[in-house]
Amino acid sequence: MTCEWLTSALKKHSTLVEKNIDALSGLLQLNKAERALLLYGTLARYQRDLRSILVEFKVNNAPEAYAAIADIAGVSPAEVGEALRAGSRLERIGLVENLISEHNITDLLT
Confidence of residue 71 (pLDDT cuts 50, 70, 90): confident
The sign of the CA dihedral 39, 42, 8, 24 is negative
Alpha-carbon separation of residue 44 from 5, 36, 90, 94, 109 (angstroms): 23, 12, 17, 17, 6
pLDDT of 43: 78
How many structural domains comprise the chain?
1
- Nearest Cα neighbor of 21 from 32, 6, 5 is 32
Phi/psi of residue 18, nearest 5 degrees: -65, -40
pLDDT of 26: 94
Confidence of residue 14 (pLDDT cuts 50, 70, 90): low
pLDDT, mean of residues 82-93: 88
Domain holding 103, by residue range, is 2-107
